Structure 1
Amino acid sequence: MGIDIQAGSSPLSSKEPKYSAVILKDGELVASYEDLPLYKVLRLVIEHHVDVIAVDNVFELASSVDKLEKLMELIPHTCKIVQVTKIGAEFVSTRELSKELFGSRMDLTPLKTAYLNAVAASKGYGSEVQVFSNKTKIIITRGRSVSQGGMSQERYKRSIKAGILQATKEVKKILDENNLEYDMMVKKSRGGLEKSVFIVYAPRESLYGLIKPVSYKNVKIVVKPFKSTPLVASTGLQRPLIMGIDPGMTVGVALVDLDGRPVFAKSWRTIDRYEIISTISSYGKVVVVATDVSNPPELVKKIGALLGAIVYAPERDITVDEKNKLVSELKETYDFQIEDSHARDALVAALKAYRHYLNTILEVKSKLRNIEGVDAYSVISEVIKGRSLSEVLEQVYRRRVQEHSKPVEIEHKPSTHFEKVSDSGLKERVRSLEAIVLKLSNDLKEKEKMLKDLETEVRLLKSRKTYDEDYERKISLLEVNLANLTRRLEESRNLIEALEKERKWLRDLIVKVSEGSHILLPKAVNLNKIVEDDLLKEKVRRHKGVFTPELGIIESKTIEFLKSIKGYVVTSKDQAVDSRVLRIPIVKAEVLGEVEDYVVLERSVEETASHIWEELELIEAFETRSRIRKLIEEYQKSRGIKE
């Protein structure tokens, strides 16, 4: 359908504007109308199953972006609006368009302009108008600063990143379950996410009851609507391009042509797919959308689908060294500036795709070298998409033959559908108003249902603890548990380390004891306990010795016991008591280690004790002989016996 506004009419006027309209089917004129109000034009769109509404100025249909959006909601989603005067980045007048299509500049009445618009759109001229003014942005970020915190700072950071990751997964799940179209951008970090942003292609009201703004201790979710201007994406004949995309919180986009020349490279923060398409549409028609990783991200797939382009991904992820090499080779040939790593990665993806299809490009160029009047690059783009060369050439020749047809002169024949009869016009107006009332009634029912759902949610929230409190309680409990587990883990590591050292020491001790270089002696803090403690007494009897840190006062019964077993005492300190006084060996020696109730000593203490026992035995033998001699002398003296 081609449309043009009648002279003297305007969407800005308080008076209802009137339009001329024509309907083309397979290039043939099937109907024409004049003096139609807009609501009748929209009714014709539905009656004739119109696929394209062609205009020379989109704001002839509506005076503002908001009104244009509301208008587009009234037409079927399969029908698109095309502004035929915007071709790529350029605008042309209807007279220039008339000369290009028909070879002459016609005297353009509104009806003839409507016909011109329809013919131009049917031949691929113009740009599609896309309005997405009602979009919603969901931002998930940290809820508190981590600039302070001492030793707990890293733990806080990990907790926040994990919380952002979990919230992002939950929001994505909700959007997927409710079939809402969106773009997702994330800033990854070790252990989770730093930030994530969703651009949802739906008004804020459609998310009521699904996702709400929250501000927790660790995570904050912001939900806000925002508007954008109408996007006009080119639909005409343009040079084929290869597009590279580097998705993320910052999106990089680059374009190269089919000769491998760089055309465009830029990056943006949190840009949506339609803004990307609108920006690059003036440079040409994208036939390949490329990425630098082997698994194409969702944004790459979605933009490829919207552009009708094929998606290219390398067999393996492109390394940083490969990227730098490709860019260096490019700069040797072209003076082209790259602003950052995101634009660089997008350009590398496009260049990699170009090299992948280079053999196909050269082969088609070679076969078309001697054929005149054929746009080689258009043919190449179709072959890249998978079509055979012969099939594409056949289609090109058929189109060129059909383009030589003469322009059609329009004779207006008033349609019986819209005779200027008062009763018929009133009846039509009533039917239109009834349709509007029905739509508003359905909208009211939907709002009432939404209100009831919200009231139910409020009652449930009031009847139990809030989610925030429950969340905080769980987080606090988890943090306490984590701190306890961390402490226990550190203690366990220290214990394992100490036990490992002790195991090695004991292993060495066993070897030394078995070899005879070391001995074990029972330990007694108080020597006098030996005769009182049967277990200790038995140990001392078995080892023939005992160790004590300090001698102290030794009772006679303890000395007698040690004498009876010919035992000895070892101490680690210098003592004032002499072995000859106690008549038991007192040996000073260094303790090499302790094993429960035993100490480890060198074997030499036994030899030292043995030597002392020999000395003590000699002393006691000498003293015994002296006492005997003295007794004999005293006896002889008492009897008067001379020596």
Structure 2
Amino acid sequence: MLILGVDVISENPKRFAVVSWFNGRLERKGEFTLYRLIRFVQSKRPDIVAIDSVTELGDDLRKFLRALPGGTKLVQVTGRPGEQRSLQSLAREHGIRVVDRFDPYEEAKLSALLASKGVGYEVLAFEDEVVIKVTRGRSPGKGGWSQDRYRKRVHNLVRDKVREIGERLRRAEIPFDLEVEEKDYGLARGEFKVYAKREELAGLIKPMRGGDVEVRIQPVERAELGFAPLKGEEAVRGRKSIIVGIDPGITVGIAAIDLNGRVVALHSERNMLVGEVFRFVSNVGHPVIVATDVNPAPGFVEKIARSFKANLFVPRESLRVEEKNELLRNLGINVDDDHQRDALAAAYKAYLRLKPKLEHIDARLREAGLTGKADEVKALVIQGYNLGEAMQRVTLRERPGEEGEEPEERVNVDLRPYMRRIRELEKRIEFLERENAELREIIKEQRKTIGRLERRIADYDEEVRRKVLRERELEAKVKRIEVLERELRDAKDVIARLSRDLVQVKRMNVVEARGSAVPLKVLRVLSWRELERIEREIGLRKGDVLFIVNPAGAGKAIAEELVERGIRALITEKPLPEPVREVLREAHVPFFTSEELDVKRVDEFAVVERERLEEAIEELLSRWEEEDKEREAERILRLVEEYRIERVKELRRRAEEERR
């Protein structure tokens, strides 16, 4: 085991004295700046960096904690903030000789030696949570079919990596939550919230960079630093030992009772993080047991127990509501909500399990005259010490703080019964070790079975996936059939309409063949583009009769073009614009509406009865001829009248000149 003791030499510039402790051997390493100290720690990867107070790192404390390699702890040997003791008194208590209290190297040496004995508190900068993000390694970009195939392949790789990580965590029995974003029958992203320290994932999950899939592992940093004892026995000294019940969920319930069964804290709050729960419990006391009311224990509760190095209490089966209410009636306590009830019931159930042992300890302590240290002895027994060892540790600590003074009183305890018990337990340990080896072989076989079953499950999952894909493909085909059926119905309707039109066209052809009808060339609008279309498709010859569906917007130019092409007549569904009418009237090109001639029209075909057309044209031209004659006569009369008037004026003017 390698421990580095550190103490500050100067503040500006900040320099540190470093002493190493390696399996009992001390060595002075020299003077380091903060940057060189970080590099040295990263290269040596010690188990512990020990310091008498983390305040000596100042504003660089967080930076130093982030730079620590995995598995390296920063330990404040003098205790928790607010409960710290001097380095020298701790050294004397643990039998370490103090030479020069003002020498930084001596202070660093004392820190290393105390940490080697399990004295001090680990500084916790990160929650017992790790976020694992699985994402695409690169953007698929834009593209066609090949780009789509590549994108689907990457999303399938992300899905497979998420499954692999989930299986590894489950196999290692590490609790976690998972959020995913689905894409292309695969996953675009997966995010694990793992309830474990980063060190617990070493060798289990590896980060990946630079490929199609990226895996990033990020520990969750605490808002406030936490302090956890290196050894559980150190935490019970001078602090109230408690049993804590926790009810996790959206609303977290916390209950704490002391080792005499008295309730000391009840609390519930929504969305409490692990660090907030840790700090709340730390302010109440040091938990020797963390309890839950359900079996198996939630990962949240396991994590709190690990953080405090406390025993975890799990009932044989989950507590029923009636049992919880009965426990609270026995306590005579009223709670604010169900979360406080569940937490208090868990803590009290754990206390009742320990009550006979705790009462036995009280009786033995009264006989030994150690009733004042009952809480500390009980805590040590709960942590695994036998009663004799716990009493011996407590009595050995009963010494003044100043070196050289003798303790005021000593308590003589007969340790022979406990030594016999220790030998019995050692034999028991040998038996359990053999049994443990046998059970390890059984576990190995069971793991092989589990691996075989997991492969079968993976094959089954693949079969289910194929089945789902087939069902989706079938669903897509059903939808496609429905679309085609609608298109078929629409096509049948079109065919039926066209059939009716065809019958009408045939009738029109018969009429045309008999010579009793004149075919019309149909234009949708009267425009240059439509004129070009009809010219291109069927041609436009002199003497044609045109049928215009909508002549609105036409002008004189296109009307003059029609006159120039020599059309015989123009038939429209709507009235012609006035400029067009004037041009056609001037050129004596007849124009009519479809209602006047009873035009028969089917889509792009239209006919009119020849006899009716000829009569209409003849009648219109005759009317125009009469109108032209009348207009010419009026023009001549108007010219004669104008001549007469001018002649009278001329004669009057000459008469006046003669008189003058």
The TM-score by the shorter chain falls in which range? 0.3 to 0.5
Q: Normalising by the residue count of structure 1, what TM-score does the alignment of the two structures yield?
A: 0.45
Q: Which has the higher contact order (CA 8 A, sep 6+)?
A: 1
Larger Rg: 2
